[in-house]
Chain A
Amino acid sequence: MTTIANRETKHESNTTDSLGTLLKGEEGIIHAVPEMGLLASLGLRRGKKVRLVSKTPAHGPLVLSVDERSVAIDRTLAERIIVRR
């Protein structure tokens, strides 16, 4: 359904990884994001700085901080977002 955009621009492979690998409190710059209208509208766009606020219990969603907003995102979805540390 959705593809990871800009996959060809994924260089510096030692520093890019999925959003799901961020540690609590760690920041990253979004490098590639699946093309979903809602992700873009929630501020999850290429070039945005995100911080992982929390990993909720029982393998629940991740809570991110983007542009002063808090966004809850499923881990499966977070794994498809690539960030640069």
Chain B
Amino acid sequence: MSSHCGTRKRRYRRGKKFRGGIHGTVLLMGLPNVGKSAIFSRFTGLDVMVSNYFGTTVEFYEGPMRLGEKNYLLKDAPGIYNLEEPSDDAERVAAKMLDEEPDAVVFVLDALNFESSLHLLLQVLEKNIPTVVALNRSDLMRPRGIAIDHGLLQRRLGVNVLPTVALRGNSLDVVKYALENAIGTKTEYDVPGPNKRWNLVEQLTSDAFRREPKKERSDKHGFLVKPWPGIPIALAVLALVFSFVIGFGMGLRQFVLLPFFRGFLFVHIENAVEALFTSEVLKNILIGEDYGFLIKGIEWPFALVLPYVISFYAAMSLLEDVGYLPRLAVLLDGLFKKVGLNGSSIIPLLLGYGCGIPAIMATRSLPSKKQRLSVATMVCFAVPCVAQTGVFIALVAAQSIPAFLVIFAISILALVIIGVILDKVNKQQAPPTLFELPELLWPKPKLLWKKISFRIRHYLKDGAVPMVIAVAFVAVFYELGALQALGRAAAPLVSGWLHLPEEAATSLVLGIVRRELTLVVLEPMGLSTVQFFTASLVALFYVPCIAMIATLAKEFSIRTAVVILVLTTVTALFLGGLFAQMAALITA
């Protein structure tokens, strides 16, 4: 894989900050959930890239790290338990990264998972690559009554062992200094072969590891995974998240963003445009009532969708950081197994309520092809993204709150139905569940903020910009009469079958670009509640946006993407029309 590294090195060499180029690579290894990412983000700057090895689905981060006068490429290997006989992609990738002979390894030894960490460390040391051990979470040792003689480990294994607290950045400079000195040295660690590994682990543990009799039971958070009170708590957490996302987003929109945009910014934009241009056509395109580019092109992405993006990712990042999601996965595992899925499928599904693209990518961590495909299909069909939800709330809930709740109930029902159908198509059972529940942790505000702001920036770049461009197109085509012509062409479908105004054909075209546009362009048309409900139903099941289709094609195959595209479109138009026709019958 030298070519892979080569391209990366070249890319960084071109960057302004790394004039000196990249001198080599350092690998960061350890068990899952031991603070590797925290160390990684302390060691590298903002110039971080997500990469994956060709043919695998596991992503890892890499970024430049400064050691003394030189820059090294720090690669964050996926967290694993075992290097030998790799059983999944994460282990294969980590083993491969180590086989590429990095210049050094930073091994994160978890103070709380001492034995398993040590077992993995021995496997790493067998490769005789210069290694520095960061004994992480050393701050939690004393409260847990744990004492580790890191000097003894250092003497026995002949490797530098340094206590650290990655979440606070404590003593990480010491690790860097040790790394700098270790690189280039010839090392031969005193470690036994595979057969004696657990023996040495147990011996070292009995010599270097002390734990006082516990003051409190270790499973003090066990109640979260018991049917009682775990299930009511899970429901309460989800309800709380749901109401926070909606409430906070609404508040932000109503009291902060709308007053700013409508009361201040748009007034100035309108005055400026009136003063600068005389052409009515141009004025209509820029500040027209319906699709004025400078008005709707700003209001929709930034005042309508952005507030929900912020509130959703704040809630989701908090749940992730606290470590609640794996507990939710355990509670739901039994139910998901009924349709051949693992409980961990809940994580990509929840992510889908933010954006479908990270959700489809997150299916990579699921254990089988069937599960990946099932969950991705569920997300494409019936999980509205946060932008769509924002529009549902702003437009549908504003007209009728019951209609909004019914739409959400339908989406959940659809998830169940899709799960059952896909399980009938492919009867493959889910593999047995076996994973560790990470410790529940208080969120660290700084890291939390970093995560949230990263996701908001991502939305601004990949979500808001295409939306602004799409609105620009609509503004121009509307003014030129192209949309009206399209509407007449699609009239049998749009007004005949769906009972929507002819112009609504626009929404079906734009919905392909971005999911929320299906509904948002209907805003100026003054629809009745029945029409809004029909449109919402269509919008819910309608085509996943172009970017999601592209992601499906990349992650699965073009065929899969096309099949999902056709099925979602047909389902959306069929169900929407069915409702419209039934409503017409009842009201007639």
Nearest Cβ on chain A to B133's Cβ, whole angstroms: 18
Contact A60 B335 (CB under 8 A): yes
Contact A56 B436 (CB under 8 A): no
A42, B343: Cα distance in complex, Å? 19
Contact B436 A69 (CB under 8 A): yes
Given the contacts A56-B227, A60-B331, A72-B333, A65 and B434 also touching, CB distance less than 8 Å: no
Contact A54 B435 (CB under 8 A): no
Residues of A within 8 A of B116 (CB): 41-43
Contact A74 B222 (CB under 8 A): no
Contact B335 A41 (CB under 8 A): no
**Does B113 touch A at the CB level, under 8 Å?**
yes
**Does B198 touch A at the CB level, under 8 Å?**
yes
Contact A57 B231 (CB under 8 A): yes
Chain A residues 22 to 77 lying within 8 A of chain B, measured CB to CB, are 24, 37-43, 45, 51, 53-61, 63, 65, 67-74, 76-77
Interface of A is mostly: mixed
How many residues of chain A are within 8 Å of chain B by beta carbon? 31
Residue-wise interface mask of B (35-67) relative to A, using a CB-CB cutoff of 8 A (1 in contact, 0 not): 000000000000000000000000000000000
> Among A54, A60, A76, which residue has its beta carbon within 8 angstroms of that of B343?
A60
Nearest Cβ on chain B to A9's Cβ, whole angstroms: 17
Chain B residues 412 to 439 lying within 8 A of chain A, measured CB to CB, are 432-437
Q: Nearest CB to that of B434 among chain A residues?
A: A73
Contact B82 A56 (CB under 8 A): no
Chain B residues 326 to 359 lying within 8 A of chain A, measured CB to CB, are 326, 330-335, 337-338, 343
A68, B84: Cα distance in complex, Å? 26
Extra pairs beyond A41-B119, A60-B330, A65-B222 (15, CB < 8 Å): A37-B81, A40-B119, A41-B120, A45-B198, A54-B222, A55-B227, A56-B226, A59-B334, A60-B335, A61-B330, A67-B218, A68-B214, A69-B113, A71-B437, A73-B433
Q: List 28 A-B contacts (CB under 8 A).
A: A37-B87, A38-B82, A39-B434, A41-B81, A54-B227, A54-B230, A56-B230, A57-B334, A58-B338, A60-B330, A60-B331, A60-B334, A60-B335, A60-B337, A61-B334, A61-B343, A63-B225, A63-B330, A63-B437, A65-B219, A65-B222, A69-B218, A69-B436, A70-B436, A72-B225, A72-B433, A72-B434, A77-B433
Binding site for A on B (CB under 8 A): 81-82, 84-85, 87, 112-113, 115-116, 119-120, 144, 198, 214, 217-219, 221-222, 225-227, 230-231, 326, 330-335, 337-338, 343, 432-437
9 tightest A-B CB contacts, nearest first: A60-B334, A58-B334, A74-B432, A41-B81, A70-B437, A68-B218, A53-B222, A65-B219, A60-B333
